[in-house]
Structure 1
Amino acid sequence: MKVILTGTTGFLGQEVLKQLLADITVTEVVSLVRRSSGFNHSKLKELVIKDFLNYRDIARHLKADACIWCLGVPQSAVSKAEYIKITYDYATYAAKELLALNLQLRFCFVSGVSASQEEKGISLQGRIKGRTEKALALLGNTVYLFRPAFIKPSDPHHKRALIPTIARYITNVLDLFSDKFSIDVATLASCLIGVAKNGTEKQLLNNTDIRHYQEKFH
């Protein structure tokens, strides 16, 4: 199968790419990037695009079986208008364009635990992720929404910034009592790929669903 992927420079996107390239059922991965990574693999095609709201020059490469949308940015890193553009506009535009090329395409959108489709709450991230979820869900039943909580590295020695490092230790304790608080990045990537390949009966998967995807849905 052929899979389109975004966000390959990010923590999650890198893991998804690694697993896709190792999957013998995946014949081609098309990565949409702003700049070339310089990484080469026989199954990987990188498409460098300047405008994520214009696929005219790359449309011939975009008919695929699935898309895993990992593209995102911290709300603190950009203005409100830019955050909305990257989170909402880019994702909804992509989904519409890709589904127009293949109505059966499975579109997997990485949202977040704070998402609110009613756009309630003080977090811009939660409101805009929720707005995006709601718009994407209207496009059809082959759109899948994922709400992971805190994403942990698979390698306990993986170095991250101070706040994520502190959060990892806190969620290590909370995980003793519930499956709601964190997800291993490899587990999340595996779930995304599983749904991209096979679909699932549930359109919106929360953190607990993702952690138990293999046993509950697959």
Structure 2
Amino acid sequence: MRIIITGATGFVGGAVVRQAIANERITHAFVLTRKPLPEDISKNEKVTVVEHKDFSTWPPEILEQLAGVEGCVWAIGGRATQFPDVETAKKVSIDYTLAAANAFVTELAPKLPEAQKFRFVFCSGKFAEWDQEKNLKAMKDTRRIKGQVEKGLCDLADANKEKFEVWAVRPGGIVKKHASLMNTLTANTIGVIDVDHLAKAMLKIVLDGHADRIVETNALLKI
């Protein structure tokens, strides 16, 4: 399968790229990035690095490079507190994601063989909230932003059922792959996931799909 990966300079996206290279079922990964990547990734024969400065626009020259791609693992975004302000968090997490998904539906999905659907896996977060008016006490901006992206993607999939599928994974905390055994056991108990396990799970979903559109941590741990 030929896939798109975003967020490769980040914690989760970087793990997805490494696991995609190791996965025999992933035949090629188009890594979309605004920054240069390390040579061990950029020079790998399974990887094509596509430098794209503005994820809110998708010009023909970018989409032409992606023709024939069958799915995407989207790992751009994070907690709202990681951005300078909430508006920037919304732009990166909501606007960029939905602009890309719409471009993929319009330009990439129709180029796939008949009856094959483009698959989009979004890295969301635990407790994402679709109801933008709901009174939230903890992490309200992050939860509303993630929920708005999830709903936007699902609405897009519902409007294009014949050619576009979406899944949103909701990890809680994410630990490094070299976490101690005790930390790993504790993480699994409280709903946190190892970053490599998360990456493998997202790749498994883009390859094979999943019964549920929203995939919570407990389900991710079983993949």
Taking structure 2 as the reference length, what is the TM-score of the superposition? 0.83
Q: Compute the RMSD of aligned alpha carbons.
A: 1.9
User: 1:67 aligns to what SS in structure 2?
Assistant: strand
Rounded Cα–Cα distance in structure 1 between residues aligned with 2:186 and 2:25? 37
Rounded Cα–Cα distance in structure 1 between residues aligned with 2:187 and 2:56? 40
Task: Indicate yes or no: 2:21 matched with 1:21.
Answer: yes
Alignment of 1:165-204 (within 5 A): 173=186, 175-176=188-189, 181-204=191-214
Q: Is the 8 A contact 1:114 1:125 kept in 2?
A: no
Structure 1 range deviating more: 135-144 or 104-113: 135-144
Task: Indicate yes or no: 2:121 matched with 1:108.
Answer: yes
Rounded Cα–Cα distance in structure 2 between residues aligned with 1:87 and 1:174? 26
Given candidates 33, 41, 46, the residue that maps to 1:43 is 46
Taking structure 1 as the reference length, what is the TM-score of the superposition? 0.85
- Hey, what does 1:216 align to over in structure 2? none
Q: CA deviation at 1:72?
A: 1.2
- Hey, what does 1:134 align to over in structure 2? 151
Query: Aligned pair in 2 of structure 1 residues 16, 174: CA closer, same or farther (>3 Å)?
Result: closer
Rounded Cα–Cα distance in structure 2 between residues aligned with 1:52 and 1:174? 33
User: 1:4 aligns to what SS in structure 2?
Assistant: strand
User: 2:156 aligns to what SS in structure 1?
Assistant: coil
- Hey, what does 2:113 align to over in structure 1? none
- Hey, what does 1:53 align to over in structure 2? 56
Query: For structure 2, which runs of at least 5 residues remain unmatched after alignment?
Result: 111-116
Q: CA deviation at 1:187?
A: 1.2
Query: For structure 1, which runs of at least 5 residues remain unmatched after alignment?
Result: 158-167, 214-218
Task: Indicate yes or no: 2:93 matched with 1:72.
Answer: no
How many residue pairs match? The answer is 199
Q: Is the 8 A contact 1:108 1:192 kept in 2?
A: yes
Q: CA deviation at 1:181?
A: 2.2
Rounded Cα–Cα distance in structure 1 between residues aligned with 2:3 and 2:127? 27
